[in-house]
Amino acid sequence: MDSRTRTIAKAISWQLMGLVSMTLVGYLFTRSLTASSGIAIASAIVSFIFYCFHERLWSRVRWGRMTDPSS
């Protein structure tokens, strides 16, 4: 299981990548940097929260995990 700090660090790095890509996609649709930035920031905040919940829930699921053959 990842620590909460690691989960948050992963979420931040993922959201930074998402922020850039969502700004680009938003700009392609709106041709407005202001509107696309607003869309990207709102999306990043919502996605960050859901990503943290998703990671914490999946860290409790044992299904599909590989066991360490040396133990």
Would residue 71 count as lying in a domain?
no
Question: Does residue 71 register a pLDDT over 60?
Answer: no
pLDDT confidence tier of residue 43, bands split at 50, 70 and 90: confident
CA distance 31 to 24: 10
29 vs 15, higher pLDDT: 29
Mean pLDDT of 2-15: 86
pTM for this entry: 0.63
**More confidently predicted of 1 and 22:** 22
Q: Count the alpha carbons within 13 Å of 27 in the hemisphere toward its beta carbon.
A: 9
Residue 20 lies in a domain: yes
Chain-wide mean pLDDT for the chain? 88
- For residue 69, pLDDT beyond 70: no
* Total tally of structural domains belonging to the chain: 1
In a domain, 66, yes or no: no
| Angle, helices 33-58/4-30, rounded to nearest 10 degrees | 150
11, with CB counted inside 10 A (0-12, 13-18, 19+), is buried
